[in-house]
Amino acid sequence: MTKGAALFDLTGKRALVTGSSQGIGYALAQGLKDAGAEIILNGRDEAKLGAAAKALDTPHTLAFDATDHEAVRKAVDTFEANTGPIDILINNAGMQHRTELENFPADAFEKLLQTNIASVFHVGQAVARHMIGRGAGKIINIASVQTALARPGIAPYTATKGAVGNLTKGMATDWAKHGLQCNAIAPGYFDTPLNAALVADADFSAWLEKRTPAGRWGNVDELVGAAVFLSSPASSFVNGHILYVDGGITASL
């Protein structure tokens, strides 16, 4: 039986993190590397991806668009054939667009759907097909506090993150029997490039600090523990779970 710190040891495992050239994705890649995993970074901007790989000191990058089904499948299949298995997948690629719902552009809505939810399907399916053949694998989807809550001006984003939560449950329902654990991390409000406009808004920050029981923004490294747990043997019987890392905001009125 695996015991103690060995429950969280990722040595010998290889992890693909989508959207990992900056922000939460990069922080999670760094955290999994520190736990022993070999990291594969992903992004669309090859220059940013290369800089991130150099900073993280990893030789593995996959520059594909997570919304392109065929490109995703080709990249994953080629990596598996030429380099080896992907044992852990973190579906982190995502975007935001803030506009009141009555004026929300249709093209922005479609882009949110593709980036935030279709990408989870595309990459999840491509990687899971190989994991199923091996009888083991970890898939972690990045949901959001908006998986459970709504806020003015981001209704379509809220819809996509609600869908991520339910797709995670669907993945677990279909794939647990094959030895996969499929779960989600739902971050609250974190100081990231995606939230730069909100962080810079003194009124919003004051509201957030009052609304959140912890009384502050989250730091991206505070998501690492959840990611390591869900990537490791410690979560061998955890499936279809949405783990909120939000300073208590979903627990409090």
Phi/psi of residue 101, each to 5°? -60, -40
Beta strand segments in 50-136, E: 60-62, 88-91
Number of CB atoms found within 10 A of residue 185's CB: 24
The catalytic residue positions are 157
The answer to whether residues 234 and 178 touch, using CB atoms and an 8 Å cutoff, is no
Query: Largest alpha-carbon pair distance within the chain?
Result: 56
DSSP letter at 192 equals: S
DSSP letter at 252 equals: -
Phi/psi of residue 105, each to 5°? -70, 140
- The type of residue at 6 is A
The four Cα atoms 8, 9, 12, 16 give a dihedral, to 10 degrees, of 40
Q: Which of 182, 158, 162, 161 is nearest to 170 (CA)?
A: 182
Distance of CA 10 to the CA centre of its chain: 18
CA atoms in the 13 A half-sphere facing the CB of 134: 15
Q: Are strands 38-42 and 14-17 parallel, antiparallel or unpaired?
A: parallel
